[in-house]
Amino acid sequence: MALDYEIKSVRLIPWVDDSHLHIELIGYDSPHVVGEEIMIPIPRALQKMAFDEKFHVMVDGEPVEVKPGRCSTCGFEPYLVTPADKPDYNQIEELPQK
Ligand SMILES: [Zn+2]
């Protein structure tokens, strides 16, 4: 069975020119330790996705798959996006911040 983690939190950092925020870390529940959240950077998430592990966020009660992409503001990549994003609204960036 493929692992599919729900991303529940995010840590944002200001981009170098301070114009907007970028995802630095994403947080998901540890499959091994109940109540413990694991925070990983985007390159680590992409590495896991390359090994068939998946990530999703809940949007209006439905899981939406997280995919590699680019920042909609500046085009920076690697970045994480979802099909439910809108211009200027990245679902992952709106998660509770850690
Ligand atoms: Zn950006």
- 26, containing H or E segment: strand 21-29
Residue 83's contacts (CB-CB under 8 Å, 6 or more residues apart) are: 64, 65, 67
Categorize the per-residue pLDDT at 1 as very low, low, confident or very high, splitting at 50, 70 and 90: low
Distance 80 CA to ligand 1 centre (A): 11
Distance 18 CA to ligand 1 centre (A): 10
Distance 67 CA to ligand 1 centre (A): 16
Which amino acid is present at 69? G
Q: 82 in helix, strand or coil? A: coil
Distance 85 CA to ligand 1 centre (A): 14
Phi, psi at 18, each rounded to 5°: 65, 10
Q: What is the per-residue pLDDT for 44?
A: 98
The pLDDT tens digits of the residues spanning 6-64 come to: 999 999 999 999 999 999 999 999 878 888 899 999 999 999 999 999 999 999 999 99
